Amino acid sequence: METSIPVSPNDREERMRRLSAVRPRLLSFARLQLRDHSLAEDAVQEALAAAIDKDASFSGRSGYETWVFGILKYKILDSLREQKRRGHWRPLEEELDEEAIDRQFQQSGRWQPSARPADWGDPEGALNQEHFWQVFDSCMIALPENIARVFSLRELMGLSTEEICRETGIKENNCWVILHRARLRLRACVEKGWLAEDKS
Amino acid sequence: MMMCKRATELMSQRLDRPLSWTEKVSLTFHLSMCGACKQCNRQFELLHQAGQRLDGERCPQEEESDRE
Protein backbone atom coordinates (compact mmCIF):
# COMPACT_ATOMS: atom_id res chain seq x y z
CA MET A 1 0.00 0.00 0.00
CA GLU A 2 1.38 3.39 -0.97
CA THR A 3 -0.24 5.32 1.79
CA SER A 4 2.29 7.99 2.44
CA ILE A 5 3.30 9.34 -0.94
CA PRO A 6 3.80 13.05 -0.44
CA VAL A 7 1.29 15.10 -2.34
CA SER A 8 2.64 18.21 -3.93
CA PRO A 9 0.55 21.37 -3.59
CA ASN A 10 -0.11 21.37 -7.29
CA ASP A 11 -1.57 17.91 -7.16
CA ARG A 12 -3.71 18.88 -4.28
CA GLU A 13 -4.94 21.95 -6.05
CA GLU A 14 -5.68 19.98 -9.14
CA ARG A 15 -7.62 17.46 -7.11
CA MET A 16 -9.60 20.15 -5.38
CA ARG A 17 -10.53 21.51 -8.76
CA ARG A 18 -11.62 18.07 -9.87
CA LEU A 19 -13.59 17.55 -6.71
CA SER A 20 -15.59 20.67 -7.27
CA ALA A 21 -16.05 19.75 -10.91
CA VAL A 22 -17.43 16.35 -10.04
CA ARG A 23 -19.61 17.54 -7.19
CA PRO A 24 -22.81 18.01 -9.23
CA ARG A 25 -22.59 14.42 -10.48
CA LEU A 26 -21.96 13.13 -6.99
CA LEU A 27 -24.98 15.00 -5.84
CA SER A 28 -27.32 13.73 -8.48
CA PHE A 29 -26.05 10.20 -7.91
CA ALA A 30 -26.68 10.49 -4.18
CA ARG A 31 -30.09 11.99 -4.81
CA LEU A 32 -31.11 9.12 -7.03
CA GLN A 33 -30.11 6.75 -4.31
CA LEU A 34 -31.31 8.57 -1.21
CA ARG A 35 -34.25 10.39 -2.79
CA ASP A 36 -33.90 13.25 -0.39
CA HIS A 37 -32.06 16.41 -1.17
CA SER A 38 -30.63 17.19 2.23
CA LEU A 39 -29.59 13.61 2.94
CA ALA A 40 -27.88 13.61 -0.43
CA GLU A 41 -26.12 16.88 0.36
CA ASP A 42 -24.90 15.45 3.63
CA ALA A 43 -23.59 12.27 2.04
CA VAL A 44 -21.76 14.22 -0.65
CA GLN A 45 -20.34 16.63 1.90
CA GLU A 46 -19.02 13.74 3.96
CA ALA A 47 -17.60 12.03 0.91
CA LEU A 48 -15.79 15.20 -0.18
CA ALA A 49 -14.43 15.72 3.29
CA ALA A 50 -13.22 12.12 3.40
CA ALA A 51 -11.66 12.47 -0.04
CA ILE A 52 -9.70 15.51 1.07
CA ASP A 53 -8.82 13.87 4.33
CA LYS A 54 -7.59 10.66 2.74
CA ASP A 55 -6.01 12.39 -0.19
CA ALA A 56 -2.68 10.73 0.51
CA SER A 57 -4.17 7.27 0.23
CA PHE A 58 -5.19 7.84 -3.36
CA SER A 59 -2.62 6.40 -5.70
CA GLY A 60 -2.75 7.04 -9.40
CA ARG A 61 -4.43 9.85 -11.23
CA SER A 62 -6.68 8.34 -13.81
CA GLY A 63 -9.29 6.92 -11.52
CA TYR A 64 -9.63 9.86 -9.20
CA GLU A 65 -13.33 10.52 -9.79
CA THR A 66 -14.05 6.81 -9.59
CA TRP A 67 -12.23 6.71 -6.30
CA VAL A 68 -14.33 9.57 -4.97
CA PHE A 69 -17.49 7.83 -6.13
CA GLY A 70 -16.33 4.77 -4.24
CA ILE A 71 -16.16 6.83 -1.07
CA LEU A 72 -19.58 8.29 -1.76
CA LYS A 73 -21.06 4.82 -2.09
CA TYR A 74 -19.93 3.97 1.41
CA LYS A 75 -21.41 7.20 2.72
CA ILE A 76 -24.69 6.46 0.98
CA LEU A 77 -24.82 2.99 2.49
CA ASP A 78 -24.13 4.50 5.91
CA SER A 79 -26.94 6.94 5.41
CA LEU A 80 -29.35 4.18 4.33
CA ARG A 81 -28.43 2.11 7.36
CA GLU A 82 -28.98 5.09 9.59
CA GLN A 83 -32.41 5.71 8.10
CA LYS A 84 -33.30 2.08 8.47
CA ARG A 85 -32.17 2.06 12.08
CA ARG A 86 -34.38 5.04 12.81
CA GLY A 87 -37.27 3.29 11.16
CA HIS A 88 -37.47 5.92 8.42
CA TRP A 89 -37.98 3.42 5.74
CA ARG A 90 -39.59 0.11 6.06
CA PRO A 91 -38.45 -2.56 3.71
CA LEU A 92 -41.49 -3.33 1.68
CA GLU A 93 -42.82 -6.77 1.76
CA GLU A 94 -46.05 -6.99 -0.07
CA GLU A 95 -47.09 -3.59 -1.35
CA LEU A 96 -45.72 -4.22 -4.78
CA ASP A 97 -47.42 -2.67 -7.71
CA GLU A 98 -48.50 -5.74 -9.55
CA GLU A 99 -50.97 -3.61 -11.43
CA ALA A 100 -48.52 -1.41 -13.26
CA ILE A 101 -46.76 -4.48 -14.53
CA ASP A 102 -49.91 -6.35 -15.38
CA ARG A 103 -50.95 -3.50 -17.59
CA GLN A 104 -48.00 -4.31 -19.84
CA PHE A 105 -49.11 -7.88 -20.45
CA GLN A 106 -52.23 -9.63 -21.60
CA GLN A 107 -53.89 -12.26 -19.50
CA SER A 108 -52.16 -14.89 -21.58
CA GLY A 109 -48.74 -13.52 -20.63
CA ARG A 110 -48.03 -11.96 -24.02
CA TRP A 111 -47.16 -8.28 -24.38
CA GLN A 112 -50.01 -5.85 -24.68
CA PRO A 113 -49.74 -4.44 -28.19
CA SER A 114 -49.36 -0.94 -26.74
CA ALA A 115 -46.55 -2.04 -24.43
CA ARG A 116 -44.46 -4.06 -26.87
CA PRO A 117 -40.81 -3.00 -26.56
CA ALA A 118 -39.58 -1.05 -29.55
CA ASP A 119 -36.15 -0.91 -31.10
CA TRP A 120 -33.95 1.66 -29.34
CA GLY A 121 -31.31 1.58 -32.00
CA ASP A 122 -27.66 1.42 -31.08
CA PRO A 123 -27.38 0.88 -27.31
CA GLU A 124 -23.81 2.16 -27.06
CA GLY A 125 -24.91 5.28 -28.85
CA ALA A 126 -27.66 5.80 -26.31
CA LEU A 127 -25.24 5.65 -23.41
CA ASN A 128 -23.17 8.37 -25.00
CA GLN A 129 -26.00 10.81 -25.34
CA GLU A 130 -26.77 13.32 -22.68
CA HIS A 131 -30.46 13.13 -23.48
CA PHE A 132 -30.54 9.45 -22.68
CA TRP A 133 -29.20 10.23 -19.22
CA GLN A 134 -31.75 12.94 -18.61
CA VAL A 135 -34.51 10.50 -19.45
CA PHE A 136 -32.89 7.80 -17.34
CA ASP A 137 -32.60 10.11 -14.33
CA SER A 138 -36.17 11.31 -14.53
CA CYS A 139 -37.44 7.74 -14.92
CA MET A 140 -35.42 6.69 -11.86
CA ILE A 141 -37.00 9.52 -9.89
CA ALA A 142 -40.44 8.43 -11.08
CA LEU A 143 -40.04 4.89 -9.72
CA PRO A 144 -41.88 4.16 -6.49
CA GLU A 145 -39.48 4.64 -3.63
CA ASN A 146 -39.15 1.08 -2.42
CA ILE A 147 -38.61 -0.28 -5.88
CA ALA A 148 -36.11 2.43 -6.71
CA ARG A 149 -34.16 1.72 -3.56
CA VAL A 150 -33.64 -1.94 -4.33
CA PHE A 151 -32.92 -1.18 -7.97
CA SER A 152 -30.26 1.37 -7.18
CA LEU A 153 -28.64 -0.78 -4.53
CA ARG A 154 -28.30 -3.41 -7.21
CA GLU A 155 -27.50 -1.39 -10.31
CA LEU A 156 -26.02 1.86 -9.09
CA MET A 157 -24.21 0.61 -6.03
CA GLY A 158 -23.39 -2.77 -7.50
CA LEU A 159 -24.50 -4.85 -4.50
CA SER A 160 -25.42 -8.48 -5.09
CA THR A 161 -28.98 -9.53 -4.32
CA GLU A 162 -27.58 -11.46 -1.38
CA GLU A 163 -26.05 -8.28 0.03
CA ILE A 164 -29.26 -6.39 -0.60
CA CYS A 165 -31.11 -8.95 1.49
CA ARG A 166 -28.72 -8.30 4.30
CA GLU A 167 -29.08 -4.52 4.02
CA THR A 168 -32.83 -4.41 3.68
CA GLY A 169 -34.08 -7.55 5.35
CA ILE A 170 -36.10 -8.66 2.35
CA LYS A 171 -35.93 -12.17 0.97
CA GLU A 172 -33.83 -12.81 -2.09
CA ASN A 173 -36.78 -14.09 -4.00
CA ASN A 174 -38.60 -10.86 -3.32
CA CYS A 175 -35.57 -8.97 -4.42
CA TRP A 176 -35.69 -10.60 -7.85
CA VAL A 177 -39.37 -9.79 -8.13
CA ILE A 178 -38.73 -6.16 -7.29
CA LEU A 179 -35.82 -5.87 -9.71
CA HIS A 180 -37.94 -7.38 -12.46
CA ARG A 181 -40.63 -4.79 -11.85
CA ALA A 182 -38.15 -1.97 -11.65
CA ARG A 183 -36.64 -2.96 -14.98
CA LEU A 184 -40.00 -3.30 -16.70
CA ARG A 185 -41.10 0.09 -15.46
CA LEU A 186 -37.83 1.77 -16.29
CA ARG A 187 -37.81 0.20 -19.70
CA ALA A 188 -41.27 1.49 -20.49
CA CYS A 189 -40.53 4.94 -19.09
CA VAL A 190 -37.19 5.33 -20.84
CA GLU A 191 -38.69 4.16 -24.11
CA LYS A 192 -41.39 6.78 -23.90
CA GLY A 193 -39.00 9.62 -23.18
CA TRP A 194 -36.17 8.47 -25.36
CA LEU A 195 -38.02 7.59 -28.54
CA ALA A 196 -40.54 10.40 -28.25
CA GLU A 197 -37.80 12.99 -28.50
CA ASP A 198 -36.07 11.05 -31.21
CA LYS A 199 -39.01 11.09 -33.56
CA SER A 200 -39.98 14.69 -33.11
CA MET B 1 -44.27 -22.83 -24.17
CA MET B 2 -43.07 -19.96 -22.01
CA MET B 3 -44.92 -16.67 -22.32
CA CYS B 4 -43.43 -13.20 -22.60
CA LYS B 5 -44.10 -12.19 -19.02
CA ARG B 6 -42.22 -15.18 -17.66
CA ALA B 7 -39.47 -14.62 -20.22
CA THR B 8 -38.96 -11.08 -18.91
CA GLU B 9 -38.61 -12.48 -15.40
CA LEU B 10 -35.80 -14.71 -16.53
CA MET B 11 -34.14 -11.91 -18.54
CA SER B 12 -34.15 -9.82 -15.42
CA GLN B 13 -32.94 -12.56 -13.09
CA ARG B 14 -30.17 -13.44 -15.48
CA LEU B 15 -28.60 -10.13 -14.50
CA ASP B 16 -28.76 -11.02 -10.80
CA ARG B 17 -28.12 -14.75 -10.55
CA PRO B 18 -26.99 -17.61 -12.77
CA LEU B 19 -29.95 -19.28 -14.47
CA SER B 20 -30.41 -23.03 -14.35
CA TRP B 21 -29.82 -25.00 -17.49
CA THR B 22 -33.53 -25.46 -18.15
CA GLU B 23 -34.18 -21.77 -17.62
CA LYS B 24 -31.41 -20.85 -20.02
CA VAL B 25 -32.70 -23.18 -22.69
CA SER B 26 -36.27 -22.02 -22.46
CA LEU B 27 -35.27 -18.38 -22.43
CA THR B 28 -33.00 -18.79 -25.43
CA PHE B 29 -35.76 -20.60 -27.25
CA HIS B 30 -38.29 -17.91 -26.46
CA LEU B 31 -35.93 -15.13 -27.49
CA SER B 32 -35.29 -16.79 -30.81
CA MET B 33 -38.98 -16.60 -31.61
CA CYS B 34 -40.10 -13.34 -30.05
CA GLY B 35 -38.93 -10.01 -31.42
CA ALA B 36 -40.49 -7.93 -28.68
CA CYS B 37 -38.76 -9.92 -25.96
CA LYS B 38 -35.49 -9.71 -27.84
CA GLN B 39 -35.78 -5.92 -27.68
CA CYS B 40 -36.73 -6.10 -24.05
CA ASN B 41 -33.70 -8.23 -23.32
CA ARG B 42 -31.40 -5.69 -24.97
CA GLN B 43 -32.99 -2.90 -23.03
CA PHE B 44 -32.59 -4.67 -19.69
CA GLU B 45 -28.93 -5.13 -20.52
CA LEU B 46 -28.62 -1.49 -21.47
CA LEU B 47 -30.20 -0.40 -18.19
CA HIS B 48 -27.82 -2.72 -16.39
CA GLN B 49 -24.86 -1.10 -18.10
CA ALA B 50 -26.29 2.35 -17.52
CA GLY B 51 -26.28 1.83 -13.78
CA GLN B 52 -22.65 0.83 -13.82
CA ARG B 53 -21.75 3.71 -16.08
CA LEU B 54 -23.38 6.22 -13.85
CA ASP B 55 -20.39 6.81 -11.65
CA GLY B 56 -16.79 6.62 -12.73
CA GLU B 57 -17.01 6.53 -16.44
CA ARG B 58 -19.34 9.40 -16.82
CA CYS B 59 -17.18 11.73 -14.82
CA PRO B 60 -14.33 12.41 -17.17
CA GLN B 61 -16.76 14.39 -19.31
CA GLU B 62 -17.32 16.57 -16.35
CA GLU B 63 -13.68 17.38 -15.92
CA GLU B 64 -13.37 18.50 -19.50
CA SER B 65 -16.33 20.77 -19.36
CA ASP B 66 -15.13 24.25 -20.06
CA ARG B 67 -14.86 26.52 -17.14
CA GLU B 68 -15.13 30.19 -17.54
Q: Sort out which chain A residues have CB atoms less than 8 A from B20's CB and list them.
A: none
Q: Is A126 helix (H, G, I), strand (E, B) or coil?
A: helix
Q: What is the ipTM score, two decimals?
A: 0.83
**pLDDT score of B36 more than 90:** yes
pLDDT in tens, A130-176: 888 888 888 888 888 778 888 988 988 888 999 988 888 888 998 99
Torsion sign, CA atoms B31, B35, B40, B41 = positive
pLDDT in tens, A123-142: 778 888 888 888 888 888 88
Q: Sort out which chain A residues have CB atoms less than 8 A from B27's CB and list them.
A: none
Residue type present at position A23? R
User: In degrees rounded to 5, what are phi and psi of residue B20?
Assistant: -70, 165
Taken in order of first residue, the domains within chain A and their CATH numbers are 9-85 (1.10.1740), 98-199 (1.10.10.10)
The burial of A94, by beta-carbon neighbours within 10 Å (0-12 exposed, 13-18 middle, 19 or more buried), is given as: exposed
* Count of CB pairs separated by less than 8 Å, A with B: 114
pLDDT confidence tier of residue A43, bands split at 50, 70 and 90? very high
Report whether A103 contacts A112 (CB < 8 A).
yes
Residue A18 has its nearest CB partner, among B8, B44, B63, at B63
In sequence order, what are the residues at sequence separation of 6 or more whose Cβ sits closer than 8 angstroms to the Cβ of residue A186?
Answer: A136, A139, A140, A143, A151, B47
